[in-house]
Structure 1
Amino acid sequence: MDTPLTRLVGVRYPIVQTGMGWVAGPRLVTATANAGALGVLASATMSPAQLLAAVREVKSRTDAPFGVNLRADAGDAGERVRIIVDEGVRVASFALAPSKELIARLKDAGVVVIPSVGARRHAEKVAAWGADAVVVQGGEGGGHTGEVATTVLLPQVVDAVDIPVIAAGGFFDGRGLVAALAYGAAGVAMGTRFLLTSDSTVPDAVKAAYLAASVKDVTVTTAVDGLPHRMLRSELVASLERAGRARALAQAVRRASGFRKLSGLSWAAMLRDGRAMKHGKDLSWSQILLAANTPMLLKASMVDGRTDLGVMASGQVAGVIEDLPSCKELVDRIITEATEVLARLGE
Structure 2
Amino acid sequence: MRTALTELTGVRHPVVQTGMGWVAGPRLVSATAEAGGLGILASATMSFDELALAVQETKERTDRPFGVNLRADAEDAGRRVDLMVAEGVRVASFALAPRREMIARLKDAGIVVIPSVGAARHAVKVAEWGADAVIVQGGEGGGHTGGVATTLLLPSVLDAVDIPVVAAGGFFDGRGLAAALAYGAAGVAMGTRFLLTKESTVPEPVKQAYLRRGLNDTVVTRKVDGMPHRVLRTELVEALERSGPATGFARAAANAVRFRRLTGLSWLAMAREGLAMKRGGDRTWAQVLMAANTPMLLRAGLVDGDTGAGVLASGQVVGLLGDLPSVAELVEGVVAEAERSIAQLPEGK
CA shift at 1:4, angstroms?
A: 0.3
Letter in 2 for 1:139: G
Q: State the partner residue of 1:251.
A: 251
Q: How far apart in 1 are the matches of 2:139 and 2:289?
A: 24
Partners of 2:108 and 2:325 in 1: how far apart? 38
Which amino acid counterpart does residue 187 of structure 1 have in structure 2?
Answer: G
Q: 2:216 is paired with a residue of what secondary structure?
A: helix
Task: For 1:157-306, list aligned pairs within 5 A.
Answer: 157-306=157-306
SS at 1:215 equivalent: coil
Amino acid at match of 1:54: A
Q: Which residue of 2 aligns with 1:339?
A: 339
Q: Distance in 1 between matches of 2:226 and 2:335?
A: 38
The aligned amino acid for 2:149 is: A
Structure 2 distance, partners of 1:35, 1:27, is: 12
The code of the aligned residue for 1:69 comes to: N
* Superposed displacement of residue 286, structure 1: 2.0
State the number of aligned residues. 347
Q: How many Å separate the matches in 2 of 1:345 and 1:224?
A: 43
CA positional deviation for 1:285: 2.1
Does residue 114 (structure 1) correspond to residue 117 (structure 2)? The answer is no
1:189 aligned counterpart, secondary structure: strand
AA aligned to 1:90 is R
Per-residue deviation, 1:346:
4.5
CA distance in 2, matches of 1:284, 1:33: 38
In structure 2, the partner of 1:22 is: 22
1:139 counterpart residue number: 139
The answer on 1:95 being equivalent to 2:78 is no
Per-residue CA shift, 1:92-131, capped at 9, x if unaligned? 0000011111000000000000000000000000001100
| SS of equivalent residue, structure 1 residue 68 | strand
Aligned-pair Cα RMSD in Å:
0.8
For 2:243 and 2:153, the matched residues in 1 are separated by 34
Give unpaired runs (5+ residues) of structure 1.
none
Q: Which whole-Å CA distance do the structure 2 matches of 1:149 and 1:285 have between them? A: 28
- Cα separation, 2, equivalents of 1:128 and 1:304: 41
Counterpart residue number, 1:61: 61
Q: Tell which deviates more after alignment, 337-346 or 125-134.
A: 337-346
Equivalent in the alignment of 1:123: 123
Q: CA deviation at 1:336?
A: 1.0
- State the shift of 1:282 in Å: 3.1
Q: Distance in 2 between matches of 1:244 and 1:274?
A: 22
* In 2: Cα distance, 1:91 partner to 1:39 partner: 9
**Percent identity between the aligned chains?**
69
- Give CA-to-partner distance per residue, 1:259-299, whole Å, 9 cap, x none: 00111111111111111111222323222111111100000
Please, what TM-score do these two structures have when normalized by structure 1?
0.99
Distance 1:122 1:21 in 2: 22
Q: TM-score, normalised to structure 2's length? A: 0.98
Q: Deviations over 1:130-186 (max 9, x none)?
A: 000000001111100001100001011111111100000000000000000000000
1:244, distance to aligned residue in structure 2 (A): 1.9
Q: Distance in 1 between matches of 2:139 and 2:284?
A: 23
